[in-house]
Amino acid sequence: MIRSAFAICSLYILSLVYTISAVRLELRGTTNPKRSSALPSRLFSRAPTNGLVLQNHADISYYANITLANQQFRVLVDTGSSDLWVAGNVRDSQDSGKQAIINYAVNSVTGPIKLAELKFAGHTTTNQAFLQATPSKENHDGTGILGLGPSAGSFIAQVLPGEGAPVLDRIFSQNRTTPNYFTILLGRDKDPTDFFNGSVTVGEILADYTAILNEPKITITKVPASQSDDQHLQMLLDADGVVGPDGKPITIISAVEQTPNKRQPTVVLDCGFTLPQVPRTLSDAIYSRFQGSEYRQIAGVGGAWTLPCVQEVNVTFKFAGRTYPLHPLDMSIDPESIGLPSITSPDGEKACIGTFQPFTYDRGARPNYDMVLGMAFMRNVYTLFDYGDFVVNSTSLADPYVQLLSITDVAEAHQDFVTVRLGGQDTTATRGVKGIKSQTRSTMYYIIAAVGAVAIVVACSILFILRAKRKRRRR
């Protein structure tokens, strides 16, 4: 439901795979033939062996195929929205006689609500409601989005109650033995040591990540009933829960009225966002300290920080007392890798775009969240979303929750950065921080001034003594 302008314009599309007892989605990173043959097989074991393959395009999109009425569509799997829409004519679908508009942060799609058989590798959902959009320059024929967010945020369900239930609701309702959760794992395109397929599963856990079941269950916070259509998969960050590059916490004051502790920001986990959307104060605190960093307007992206690509940035998030370090390769992105012109820093170095971007859209006067943690964050965790009582007509009394399993090793991530950005030569210790030189210069000025003051005092003392001696001689 929430989407940045950059994500909307640059997203390529995802797909899902469903099995009868559980739903599984496999995401595959773009293959690098120079690297993949040398990688140990263990790196690929993190993705399920069956299901449809998804491709990762430069870490800005993950996509695959679904089948509607025996036609294939490439759809983005999106935890930030709740509805299914496709661009193009679904020939053997049934018209519901209703129209809908699905709104995103800076974009929308409109069209008739239709019903069709939806297939996911052996799993069939009959009369699945979806919006059929007219193909356009932005929404190519045969593409779309599949939302996995709470049904309360479904625009289709509001227009077509009952029949318009989102895909996950239909799956959970059809098979009551399937646990009401799904998980998501995103791969990293240029990771030289842990290049693996990403996955989405429904009702099951990836074999290599069963430890996630031992992680804290973080309650999904609910928005006021009057704003239920703005419900997302969101939770509270710990107080002082962002540790900056200097190892010190970055204070963030929540703008969400219903949050009791204003030092705990509400964050949305949205795999549809390429660049996490954060308050300007947070983005400034992360990037402004580095030599060569600059906040600027970038065509196709909006306002964002840029910094030398060779600058390593380390940030850690904290949820429920657990720490989640972020890979430095996820803290900035080379504009050329995503089809944008190259950027140069004020010092003449090749510059990258800081991925934690100040909000590019207006959240309104009474926002229900403080930041959106997109792909750049979610590549560092294996995430489980339990729907609890979010499912339509559910009798469950359990609160929905999120579990996060950290998958980033700090030492390994540093070496990855050195390999990818620095050509294998670790020069990170030589990088400067803004203000150090000026502070040193100021300190020297103080020392010189102090020495001068002492010299003046000494000279005055000597002059006073000499004058005193002369007066004595005259007497």
Q: In this model, does residue 37 exceed pLDDT 50?
A: no
Contact 354, 307 (CB under 8 A): yes
pLDDT of residue 386: 94
Distance in angstroms (rounded) separating the CA atoms of residues 252 and 264 = 8
C-alpha torsion angle, residues 427, 429, 435, 438 (rounded to 10):
-90
- Residue 315 identity (one-letter amino acid): V
Q: What percent of the chain has pLDDT over 90?
A: 60
pLDDT of residue 257: 96
> What is the greatest pairwise CA distance in the chain?
124
Q: In this model, does residue 398 exceed pLDDT 90?
A: no
Average pLDDT over residues 75-86: 92
Average pLDDT over residues 47-72: 72
Q: In this model, does residue 83 exceed pLDDT 90?
A: yes
Q: Which has the higher per-residue pLDDT, 30 or 399?
A: 399
Q: Which has the higher per-residue pLDDT, 173 or 123?
A: 173
Contact 307, 352 (CB under 8 A): yes
**CA dist 233 → 1, 351, 386, 403, 459 (Å):** 11, 33, 10, 12, 73
Instruction: Taking the CA atoms of 146, 150, 152 and 153 in sequence, report the sign of the dihedral they define.
Output: negative
Contact 153, 81 (CB under 8 A): yes
List the helix and strand counts (H, then E) for the chain.
8, 27
Distance in angstroms (rounded) separating the CA atoms of residues 164 and 62 = 26
CA angle 396, 401, 403 (to 5 degrees): 135
At 229, is the pLDDT very low, low, confident or very high (cuts 50, 70, 90)? confident
**Mean pLDDT, the chain, integer:** 82
At 416, is the pLDDT very low, low, confident or very high (cuts 50, 70, 90)? very high
For residue range 56-65, list pLDDT tens digits in order.
778 888 887 8
Average pLDDT over residues 456-461: 59
Q: Please give the DSSP secondary-structure letter assigned to residue 359.
A: P
Q: What percent of the chain has pLDDT over 70?
A: 77
Count Cβ atoms below 10 Å from residue 183 Cβ, excluding itself: 23
Count Cβ atoms below 10 Å from residue 135 Cβ, excluding itself: 14
Q: Domains in the chain, ordered, with CATH?
A: 52-178 (2.40.70.10), 220-435 (2.40.70.10)
